Amino acid sequence: MKIKPAHVKVTQFSAVSLQNDGSQLEVYAIGHGAAQANTHTSFIAVLGKESLLIDCGYNVPASFTRFGINPASISNFFITHAHGDHIGGLDRMLIDNRYFRGNVPGAKATLWAPRTWAQDLWNNSLSGGLSSHDSLRSSKDEGGDDLKTLPSNRWYDILLPTEDSSFADRDIYQFKKGSFKIEAFRTMHTPAVASSWQESAWSTGVLINDLIWISGDTRFDAGLIKSYAPRCKVMIHDASPFPNDPVHAPFDSLVTLPVDAKSKMFLTHLPNSFDGEDTQKLVRTKGFWGLALTGTKFSAML
Ligand SMILES: [Zn+2]
Ligand SMILES: [Zn+2]
């Protein structure tokens, strides 16, 4: 029988509480699917009075409905990269934050992002739907200048990293808000021809309060996993059943990891064909902790 760390509990949830007493980090898997799946990999992290949505693909608003969460009740957003299965539902969240947070006048959403990535996300993705929004009430901005389009700061503030540095040869970005301590690290996801994380398009994973690590979308990157494994209690990793998957981590490659990494690892970002009971059995047989299926809650004592 495997011994699991006593201070991490893994349970099933049917509803999400967006606050806790601050003694533990709670991470709710509200979706576990790959790009074409019925749900999209997304997490709500809760610590004290703060909650943070990590990724918001086009099926994530449906997960909010499933778990009875009001989209306007979450105002902190961390986006790992610009693929539709990670950002496609974000404009819905921002619209609800802007117009339907009735009891929080003037409150705005907060995007946690380094400045350059925040600019790319607005210019290349969000501005298309949000800058020409019909509900613009004034044609003047606060300075009296003519305003034909809504700028990003009418939708959200940006929480910049408190520190940029590197760990294990990665660029990393530290974010702090309330009791949250988020370390974002660059990953190697797309394009397939990129031979390093430096050459890859922007994509990141996160380490939350040195407890729960989420890979984000990445190819198999053994060095990255081995460097973070000693620093966290739970690893949630992108996994693909396809041995030659050029942009995600093939299951067959993850199997080759050392026991100390696999035994704290849950797999996610799964196609519909790879999230059933057979897969559950298979991953446990191969030494992983399990699958981070939709409805799985991770509670880690601080
Ligand atoms: Zn992706
Ligand atoms: Zn993805």
Residue-wise pLDDT tens digits, 49-67: 999 999 999 999 999 999 9
Which ligand is nearest the CA of 189, by number?
1
Q: Looking at residue 140, what is its pLDDT?
A: 61
Q: How confident is residue 242, by pLDDT bands cut at 50, 70 and 90?
A: very high
Q: Looking at residue 142, what is its pLDDT?
A: 58
Give CA–CA dist 253/76, Å, rounded: 34
Q: What is the biggest distance separating any 2 CA atoms in the chain, rounded to whole angstroms?
A: 68
Q: Which CATH class is domain 8-129+151-301?
A: alpha beta
Do residues 73 and 50 touch, judged by C-beta distance below 8 A?
Answer: no
- In the chain, domain spans: 8-129+151-301
Q: How far does residue 132's CA lie from ligand 1's centre (Å)?
A: 27
**Interval 266-273 mean pLDDT:** 97
Q: Looking at residue 265, what is its pLDDT?
A: 98
Q: How far does residue 295's CA lie from ligand 1's centre (Å)?
A: 22
Lowest mean pLDDT among 87-96, 136-145, 163-172, 280-289: 136-145
Q: How far does residue 74's CA lie from ligand 2's centre (Å)?
A: 21
Q: How far does residue 133's CA lie from ligand 2's centre (Å)?
A: 27
**Could you tell me which residue, 256 or 105, shows the higher pLDDT?**
256
Q: How far apart are the first and last CA of the chain?
A: 26
Identify the three-state secondary structure at position 192: coil
Q: Looking at residue 203, what is its pLDDT?
A: 98
Give CA–CA dist 26/159, Å, rounded: 21
With a CB cutoff of 8 Å and minimum separation 6, the contacts of 145 are none
Q: How far does residue 216's CA lie from ligand 1's centre (Å)?
A: 8
Q: Looking at residue 4, what is its pLDDT?
A: 57
Which ligand is nearest the CA of 271, by number?
2
**Interval 83-103 mean pLDDT:** 91
Q: Looking at residue 66, what is its pLDDT?
A: 97
Q: How far does residue 1's CA lie from ligand 1's centre (Å)?
A: 35
**Interval 255-265 mean pLDDT:** 97
Q: How far does residue 187's CA lie from ligand 1's centre (Å)?
A: 11
Residue 16 half-sphere exposure toward CB, CA atoms < 13 A = 31
The tokens for 26 are: 């709670």
Q: Looking at residue 134, what is its pLDDT?
A: 60
Torsion of CA 165, 214, 34, 72, to 10 degrees: -90
Q: How far does residue 225's CA lie from ligand 1's centre (Å)?
A: 18
- pLDDT tens-digit series, residues 3-23: 555 689 999 999 999 999 999
pTM of the model: 0.94
Q: How far does residue 104's CA lie from ligand 2's centre (Å)?
A: 32
**Residue 180 pLDDT > 90:** yes
Q: How far does residue 103's CA lie from ligand 2's centre (Å)?
A: 34
